[in-house]
Amino acid sequence: MIFKNLNRIVFAGDSVTDMGSAQPVGEGLFDNLGRSYVRVIENMLYTWYPELNFRITNSGISGNTSRDLLERYDRDVLSLEPDYVSICIGINDVWRQFDVPGIPSEACTPDEYEHNLREMIERTRDKVLRLFLATPYFMEPCRADRMRARMDEYSDIVRRLSSEYGCELVDFQAAYDRFFEHKHSAIIAWDRVHPNQIGATLMAREFLSHCGFDYGHLPVEE
């Protein structure tokens, strides 16, 4: 497992990362970490690796686009001196094109999205042990759906930049697609975006599959 004792892992993103976390940065006791996949990741790390201590930080803010995240990135991510960073952003870049189409400035075009993401990668990659890039997603199995098709364009940008920069790709869209071969999206989210605890667990499992997480791990007795 890649995470070591006292490593700090910062998760940057929008509402699917935030999910009620303390603002602008959530960590520690009570519900400061929120209810998203970030909380499930912390739960799983401490449950399977009780001999280690982890500093898990939630830097998600609901409603953020990649433009918003970039504006606060130095303050809410890099200034925390993380060992690992995960970026999951882009859903609102697309969603604003559909829920407020009359205000195009609210959304981010594919070109702006790529620029913003590339800027965050450039600022981060030499400062951390590993940078995770997660695809945005839409819980719609029909790829002909207009919003799903648009989201796929943004996910493809993440996949391409992950390959270009050697980042760790966490493909949340692919994980959901596999799940929806068996279940309808209503079991996770009626709006097809904000996951319940089933979705949060699915996302945590997908993230940890890129971290050498060992479900059979037993702590060494002292």
Catalytic, 209? Answer: no
Q: Which of 156, 191, 209, 217 does the annotation list as catalytic?
A: 191
How far apart are the two ends of the chain, measured CA to CA in Å?
19
State the DSSP H helix or E strand holding residue 168, giving kind and residue range, or none if neither: strand 168-170
Burial of 26: CB neighbours in 10 Å, binned 0-12, 13-18, 19+ = buried
Catalytic, 15? Answer: yes
| Three-state secondary structure call for residue 97 | helix
Q: Is the peptide bond before 24 cis (omega within 30 degrees of 0)?
A: yes
Catalytic, 194? Answer: yes
Q: Which of 62, 145, 177, 194 does the annotation list as catalytic?
A: 194
Burial of 32: CB neighbours in 10 Å, binned 0-12, 13-18, 19+ = middle
Q: Which of 15, 66, 162, 185 does the annotation list as catalytic?
A: 15
Give catalytic residues, as residue numbers.
Answer: 15, 191, 194
